[in-house]
Amino acid sequence: MPPEKLEIFKSMENWAEENLLALLKPVESCWQPQDFLPDPESEGFYEQVKELRERARELPDDFFVVLVGDMITEEALPTYQTMLNTLDGGIRDETGASLTPWAIWTRAWTAEENRHGDLLNKYLYLSGRVDMKHVEKTIQYLIGSGMDPKTENNPYLGFIYTSFQERATFISHGNTARLAKGHGDMKLAQICGIIASDEKRHETAYTKIVEKLFEIDPDATILALADMMRKKISMPAHLMFDGQDDHLFDNYSAVAQRIGVYTAKDYADILEFLVGRWKVEKLAGLSGEGRKAQDFVCGLPPRIRRLEERAQGRVKQTSTAPFSWVFGRELKL
């Protein structure tokens, strides 16, 4: 990025202090995983665990596979904090305890996210429904692999990526909540729901940053948005591996699509939402390249939807795949 672009983020520090940090929740008013799990210090602990496991028995394998995939994604948090700390323009936390608003945001965001993996991990452990060793192995592999969302140290690209991702997690945790409720597990529905509400707040924060960027530098921002969409928003856990399945991520995604937790339609919907949120259609004063980018981005959601419809309209043969996370049982893809 050229120096004048880097300066933009420096000049946004006051704005970030006033607008971004306000979207963090003070620790004292945050929920903690323990709020949603059996109380280990109480006499009723064993009974609570028993009830949790009874409720979990009613949830099918394919639901658990998706929940596990989501949990593994959350547990790879070190990768995401790293990714934020690759961003130029004064965004990265230079010392690990830097007091710039951006660094404060990144650490506090990480701290909030950390509860998600912890909560899901403990729930899955207690449920007895999944092969924890394989799940844990997958997490170790994933953190080891990292991810490259092609944000190239560029905060324009980086914050567009995180905006998209937060909305995607909001949608998928919302869907697992709905499915859990449908299967009668209200406590799990609550768990997924509370996580989804955090993601929504984070989505608000990241989209706010990008909204400000559109205001300050609409041309660079629309070019960045088109660039990310051309590159495709790759999912953070796309390198997941459990030691056995070379197609683990594809298989997990297929199940997530089939049971309606996260679909291609959601991808199109998220983009459409962001186009609306950032008023992309109304952007003015763009360069020639900027206008092309604007057209591309605005025209993209219907194209994706059409492809999805055409794909769905075809005669399908089903295949299955085994998942180590559920003890090698085969699931429909």
Partner 1 sequence: MLLEGLSISCLRHCYGSLMVQAAGLKLVSVGWAKFTGFPSLKASRFRVSCSAKPETVEKVIEIVRKQLALKPETVLTSETEFVELGADSLDTVEIVMTLEEEFDINVEEESSQNITSVQEVADLIEKLVQQKAQGES
What does the binding site for partner 1 look like in residue numbers (CB under 8 A)? Answer: 148-150, 230-232, 234-235, 238-239, 247, 249-254, 256-258, 262-264, 267, 300, 303-304, 307-308, 310-312, 314-319, 333
How far apart are CB 65 and partner 1 at their closest, in Å?
12
Q: How many Å separate Cα 91 from the centre of its chain?
A: 20
Query: Is 199 among the residues known to form the active site?
Result: yes
Cα–Cα distance for residue pair 106/112, rounded to 1 Å: 10
How far apart are CB 228 and partner 1 at their closest, in Å?
11
Cα–Cα distance for residue pair 201/113, rounded to 1 Å: 11
How far apart are CB 181 and partner 1 at their closest, in Å?
23
The active-site residue out of 61, 93, 118, 199 is 199
Structure-block tokens of residue 32 = 């903690």
Q: Residues near 148 by Cβ (< 8 Å), separated by ≥ 6?
A: 234
How far apart are CB 260 and partner 1 at their closest, in Å?
11
Query: Is 169 among the residues known to form the active site?
Result: yes
How far apart are CB 255 and partner 1 at their closest, in Å?
9
Query: Is 113 among the residues known to form the active site?
Result: yes
Asked whether the beta carbons of 167 and 270 are under 8 A apart, the reply is yes
Q: How many Å separate Cα 153 from the centre of its chain?
A: 19
Q: Which is nearer to partner 1, 29 or 317 (CB)?
A: 317
Q: Which is nearer to partner 1, 89 or 149 (CB)?
A: 149
Question: Sign of the C-alpha dihedral, residues 143, 149, 152, 155?
Answer: negative
Query: Is 166 among the residues known to form the active site?
Result: yes
Q: Residues near 199 by Cβ (< 8 Å), separated by ≥ 6?
A: 166, 167, 169, 170, 173
Query: Is 215 among the residues known to form the active site?
Result: no
The secondary structure of residue 40, as a DSSP letter, is T
**Binding site, residues?**
74, 113, 116, 166, 199, 202
The active-site residue out of 75, 93, 113, 266 is 113
The active-site residue out of 75, 118, 198, 203 is 198
Q: Which is nearer to partner 1, 204 or 257 (CB)?
A: 257
Kindly report the number of other CB atoms within 10 A of residue 49's CB atom.
16
Angle at 247 between CA 268 and CA 60, to 5 degrees: 75
Query: Is 62 among the residues known to form the active site?
Result: no
Long-range contacts of 225-228 (CB under 8 A, 24+ apart): 225/160, 225/274, 225/278, 225/280, 225/293, 225/297, 226/292, 226/293, 226/294, 226/296, 226/297, 227/157, 227/293, 228/150, 228/151, 228/157, 228/160, 228/161, 228/164
How far apart are CB 254 and partner 1 at their closest, in Å?
4
Q: Which is nearer to partner 1, 56 or 240 (CB)?
A: 240
The active-site residue out of 75, 118, 166, 242 is 166
**Binding site for Fe cation, residues?**
74, 113, 116, 166, 199, 202
Q: Which is nearer to partner 1, 194 or 274 (CB)?
A: 274
Q: Residues near 10 by Cβ (< 8 Å), separated by ≥ 6?
A: 89, 90
Cα–Cα distance for residue pair 148/269, rounded to 1 Å: 23
Q: Which is nearer to partner 1, 16 or 179 (CB)?
A: 179
For strand 320-323 and strand 329-332, is the pairing parallel, antiparallel, or unpaired?
antiparallel
User: Which residues form the catalytic set?
Assistant: 31, 74, 113, 116, 166, 169, 198-199, 202
